[in-house]
Amino acid sequence: MRRWEPFEFITERVWDEASELCADAVSEMLVVGDVHGDTQNLTDAIDLACDLGVGAIVQIGDFWLADSHWSRLNPLESEFMWAAHDSRVPIVVVDGNHEVWPALGRYALTPAAQAAMASRRPLHLGGSIWWAWRGSTWCWGGRRFGALGGAVSPDRRDPSVGGYRWDEEATTQEDLERLIANVDAEFGGSLDVLFTHDAPGQVQNLESGMSGVPWDIQQAAHDGRKLLGKAVEHTGPALVLHGHWHRTNQERISDTTEVFGLSADGMPNSTAWLTTSPELAVSYLS
């Protein structure tokens, strides 16, 4: 019956002391596109991860991270967060533009969150949920991982959703600088895998998705993607995986970097299998 109780973010564990997430514990993972707070989408992904026997789920934004400090938290949102909390597989969430920033932003200022950021590692939010905040870094299977979430909502001025869009949704220059500094300090400047929510600016196959969006919002979104593009240029990942556009996109953007975009909400190619050995590889799952 706990699923109807309000959910509250709480740091009970530290990443580097979580044996199930240590560098040698995870060599395969399920990467999941936008789920938008839908419990069925989430539980389907958890079941698939268990069937595949992967070590972790990485969800690449628009998860709908929310807790009781969100004044509009309702029973369905609580049920969703408790389902994530009780997952049989660790869930590492990269923030998107549809996280609940009044709750998540407040939590980012707590001493526990600040300590996690100082360590460069994702932050525990309770149970099986970890937040890969913008600039967090970690190792799995001998590979170097980083996260740079955020995006601009094309519908941010739509009156019907205006109470669910926040300034904090967009990736910032400060976020980029934080990632670069952490990658420099942790890995000497380079990554193997970068998880983002939006697509890097070098991606060419998605621009039609902004058709009909007001020009100033298009420009703000473009600026955010430029920052992600700079992150790729600075850190040189072999793979970038992103969501946000709700459609599949695979594109090589340089001699060394390939981008995989995932669809959303349980649609085809909304999940991908990522392995670190013997080679770094990604494949879409139907």
pLDDT digits (tens, 9 = 90+) for 176-224: 999 999 999 999 999 999 999 999 999 997 866 677 889 999 999 999 9
State the pLDDT at residue 116: 87
Identity at 186, one-letter amino acid code: E
Of the candidates 207, 197, 166, 24, which has an alpha carbon nearest to the alpha carbon of residue 94?
197
State the pLDDT at residue 208: 63
**CATH number reported for the structural domain that contains residue 224 in this entry:** 3.60.21.10
Q: Is residue 259 part of a domain?
A: yes
Strand partners for 55: none
Q: Is residue 9 part of a domain?
A: no
Q: For the chain, how many residues are written?
A: 286
Residue 76, by phi and psi: left (phi above 0), alpha (psi -120 to 50) or beta? Answer: alpha
- Spatial strand order of the sheet with 239-242 comes to 137-140, 143-148, 193-196, 239-242, 258-261, 249-252
* Six-digit token string for 232: 């790729």
Q: Is residue 10 part of a domain?
A: no
CA-based angle 33:282:87, to the nearest 5?
Answer: 45
Q: Is residue 34 part of a domain?
A: yes
Q: Is residue 181 part of a domain?
A: yes
State the pLDDT at residue 214: 92
State the pLDDT at residue 234: 98
Q: Which residue has the tokens 């039609």?
A: 208
Question: Please, how many CA atoms are within 13 Å of residue 239, restricted to the half-sphere of its CB?
Answer: 21
State the pLDDT at residue 286: 72
Where the chain has pLDDT below 50, the residues are 1
Q: Is residue 86 part of a domain?
A: yes
Cα–Cα distance measured from residue 204 to residue 265, given in angstroms and rounded to the nearest whole number: 23
Distances from the Cα of 215 to the Cαs of 118, 212, 219, 224, in angstroms? Answer: 38, 9, 6, 14
Helix (H, G, I), strand (E, B) or coil at 58: strand
- Domain holding 134, by residue range, is 28-275
State the pLDDT at residue 1: 47
Q: Is residue 13 part of a domain?
A: no
Cα–Cα distance measured from residue 150 to residue 168, given in angstroms and rounded to the nearest whole number: 8
Q: Is residue 63 part of a domain?
A: yes
The helix (H) or strand (E) run that includes residue 233 is: helix 215-235
* Six-digit token string for 29: 């993972």
The total of structural domains in the chain comes to 1
